[in-house]
């Protein structure tokens, strides 16, 4: 069974600085997708970034980028130039090609951006 | 599009009562997911539908929970009878096609069972 681990329950970063959130996963599948979702205090879950495992190039979305290490089964999220609006829970998620559309979420990392 | 709509946003009920949570997915999306979020267990997938048909309900905690999707624009999650340990935020999400497509989440329903 697939599992997703986020080893940092809480993190903080100064505004305008860079922060990296860690995520590891366990799977026997070769093809899969990885996601980072953001949940601000409003509770709304929002997709931040997505990575296809068959792509070697790391995904980027403006200030958000990932470091995808397939062999190590690691998928970290880097937030550059942190902003107060980045304060939220961040969930790493996994979807295997054979998992019939089930997305497995990690336990989340609570990020606080300090002014 | 208004996004995924859930109602009610907040529900407070007494133990033993029936609770019905409602979800309207984004028009055109053919996948619908129900999740439960608690501090202890995080975000758990309860059940999901494809084209109104339940595909996987292995996450449904017990027989007190049931979900239906009578048509493409409406789904319900029912708890009968409710218990205090059911207190959580329940999310509905929808997506189109499959594999790697973004799930669009509703605002959630915060359920409190006293």
Q: Which residue of A has its CA nearest to B39?
A: A107
- As beta bridge partners, residue A26 has A3
Residue B44 C-alpha from the chain's centroid: 10
Tell me which of A43, A53, A97, A105 to substitute to probe the interface with B (most B C-beta atoms closer than 10 Å): A43
Of all residues in chain A, what percent are helix, strand and coil, respectively (each to 5)?
5, 50, 45
**Cα B74 to Cα B15: distance, rounded to the nearest angstrom:** 26
**Cα B68 to Cα A84: distance, rounded to the nearest angstrom:** 40
Q: Which residue of B has its CA nearest to A5?
A: B42
Which DSSP letter does residue A41 get? T
For residue B55, list chain A residues with Cβ-Cβ distance below 8 A. Answer: 100-101
C-beta neighbour count of A19 within 10 angstroms: 20
Q: Tokens 């969930």 label which residue?
A: A91
* Three-state DSSP state, A20: strand
| Radius of gyration for chain A, computed over Cα atoms and rounded to the nearest angstrom | 14
C-beta neighbour count of A54 within 10 angstroms: 11
Residue A12 C-alpha from the chain's centroid: 16
| pLDDT in 10s for each residue of chain A, 115 residues | 779 999 999 999 999 999 999 999 999 888 889 999 999 988 888 999 999 998 889 999 999 999 999 999 999 999 999 999 999 999 999 988 776 567 889 999 999 999 9
> Does residue B37 have a pLDDT over 80?
yes
**Cα B31 to Cα B99: distance, rounded to the nearest angstrom:** 11
Interface touch B91/A45, C-beta < 8 Å: yes
For the stretch A67-90, pLDDT in tens is 999 999 999 999 999 999 999 999
For the stretch B43-82, pLDDT in tens is 999 999 999 999 989 899 889 999 999 999 999 999 999 9
A100 dihedral zone (left: phi>0; alpha: psi -120 to 50; beta): left
């Amino acid at each position: 069974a697939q599992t997703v681990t986020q080893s940092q329950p809480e993190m903080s970063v100064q505004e305008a600085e860079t922060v990296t959130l860690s995520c590891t996963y366990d799977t026997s599948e070769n093809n899969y997708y990885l996601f980072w979702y953001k949940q601000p205090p409003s509770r709304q879950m929002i997709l931040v970034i997505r990575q296809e495992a068959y792509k070697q190039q790391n995904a980027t979305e403006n200030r958000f980028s990932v470091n995808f290490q397939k062999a190590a089964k690691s998928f970290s999220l880097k937030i550059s130039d942190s902003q107060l609006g980045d304060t939220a829970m961040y969930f790493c998620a996994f979807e295997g090609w054979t998992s019939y559309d089930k997305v497995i979420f990690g336990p989340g990392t609570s990020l606080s951006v300090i002014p | 599009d208004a996004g995924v709509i859930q109602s009610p946003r907040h529900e407070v009920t007494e133990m033993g009562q029936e609770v019905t949570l409602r979800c309207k997915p984004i028009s055109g999306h053919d996948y619908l997911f129900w999740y439960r979020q608690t501090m202890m267990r995080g975000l758990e997938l309860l059940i999901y539908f494809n084209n109104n048909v339940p595909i996987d309900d292995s996450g449904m905690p017990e027989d007190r929970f049931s979900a239906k999707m009578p048509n493409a624009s409406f789904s319900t999650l029912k708890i009968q009878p409710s218990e205090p340990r059911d207190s959580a935020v329940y999310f509905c999400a929808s997506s189109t096609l499959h594999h790697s497509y973004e799930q669009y989440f509703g605002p959630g329903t915060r359920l409190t069972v006293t």
